[in-house]
Amino acid sequence: MRKGIGVICVVLGVLLMVKGHDVGLSLASRMKVTFVGAPVNEAVKLYLTGIGTGLFGLLLIFWKK
């Protein structure tokens, strides 16, 4: 059961990071970085959430109790 949930978390984490990459490469994001110089907050949030979810999933898969 734990490994199944872990796999789901890893897949969800990868999907969130891909979505963050897409948001970061959008035209609106490029314009904001050009004029303001700051990355888009939504992209950063998606990257961090994806990394956290993926690491949690790996922890569930590989941690022996």
Taking only the tens place, the pLDDT of each residue in 4-35 is 999 999 999 999 999 998 888 888 777 777 78
DSSP result, the chain: -HHHHHHHHHHHHHHHHHHHHHHHTSHHHHHHHHHT----HHHHHHHHHHHHHHHHHHHHHH---
CA atoms within 13 A on the CB side of 6: 13
Percentage of the chain beyond pLDDT 70 is: 97
Q: What is the pLDDT of residue 62?
A: 94
Q: What is the pLDDT of residue 41?
A: 82
Binned at pLDDT 50, 70 and 90, residue 46 comes out as very high
Instruction: Provide the domain count of the chain.
Output: 1
* Domain assignment of residue 21, given as a range: 2-62
- State if pTM tops 0.75: yes
> What are the phi and psi torsion angles at 63 (to 5°)?
-80, 120
Which of 47, 50, 48, 1 shows the shortest CA–CA distance to 21?
Answer: 47
Q: What is the mean pLDDT of residues 36-58?
A: 89
